[in-house]
Each structure stands twice: as structure tokens, then as C-alpha cells.
Amino acid sequence: MTIAFVVVFLLVLLGCLTLHVFGLPANWLLLGLVALWDYFHPAPHLGFAFYAMLVCVGLAGEAVELFAQIFGAKKYGATGKGNLGGFLGAFAGALLGAPFFLGIGALFGAVAGAFVGCYVFERAHGRDDAGARRAAMGAMYGKVFGMTAKVACGVVMWVATARALWPA
């Protein structure tokens, strides 16, 4: 019976990872669910080191998502104002896109918003069209890479949890 509970719980955690598509904090929800499992389930007590590892991986995912957009835009010539526009655009795009395509629009909205926000801010501060477009492409590429890395960190968290909970 314990194996059945573990399988169901791991499937719930796997489903939790799909929340990344909607722009929701799936890695942190996964961490919270693991803590609840550990609190209510009598057998495994995962320990401080396990939770510290999960928190570090979750923070690494957030940091990579943040800095990938900054460095992607900088690599393609964005200014600080363009980066700010990219962040604001990604946030606004995710919010505005959320009602579309059953919530998956948040993903596309964030990516498109990073492009549009960076482009608009670069143009508003005197950049020519080609330079602003190039900087905006960098912000968009960085956003896509950052989101991918964040999902990969969630997968690492899931695998670590599966290894810790699976009866040996």
C-alpha cells in the first residue's frame, strides 16, 4: 500500500511541474507538497540537508531565470532601461496572456512581453529600430532559456524527491 501512495504522490508532484506552463511557482509548490508529505507521513523524515538541497535548487532556478534574461539582452546590446522594459513586459505579458489558450497564453505572453517591453523601452530612449530589435531578441532568448532552466531545476527537485521517497 505504501508503494501505491508514493506513486500517486509522485504523479501529483509531476502534475505540479506542469504549472510552469501557466507561469505559476511550481517549484515552490512542489517543495511545499514534499514538506506536507514529510509532516503527515510517518515513515520518512527527509531531514534538513534534503530540504536545503531542494531550496537551493529552487533558488538556482529563480536566479537563472532572472539573470538569463539580463545577460541575454546585454549580449545583444540592450541597455539597463531595455532590460527593465523586458522584465516589465514579461510580467505584463504573462498576466495579459493568462486568459488565453486555457492558461498557456501566460507562457507565450511572457516571452512576447519580454520582446515588446525591451523594444519599446529601447526605442523610447533613442535607440534606432535595428538596435532595439536586436536587444529585444536577446531579452526574448534569455527569457526562453531562463524558463527552460527553471523547469529543469523543477525536474531535478522531482527526481531527488522520488529517490528519497521510493522504498529501497
Is the pTM of the predicted complex or chain greater than 0.75? yes
* CA distance readout (Å), 37 to 7, 27, 43, 119: 13, 15, 10, 45
Instruction: Convert the pLDDT of each residue in 23-81 to its tens digit.
Output: 889 999 999 999 999 888 876 678 899 999 999 999 999 999 989 989 988 999 899 99
**102: nearest Cα among 25, 18, 33:** 18
pLDDT at 41: 80
**70: nearest Cα among 87, 90, 58, 92:** 87
CA-atom Rg of the chain in angstroms = 19
Burial class (CB in 10 A: 0-12, 13-18, 19+), 13: buried
Which comes out higher in pLDDT, residue 167 or 149? Answer: 149
d(CA 22, CA 167): 32
Average pLDDT, rounded, for the chain: 91
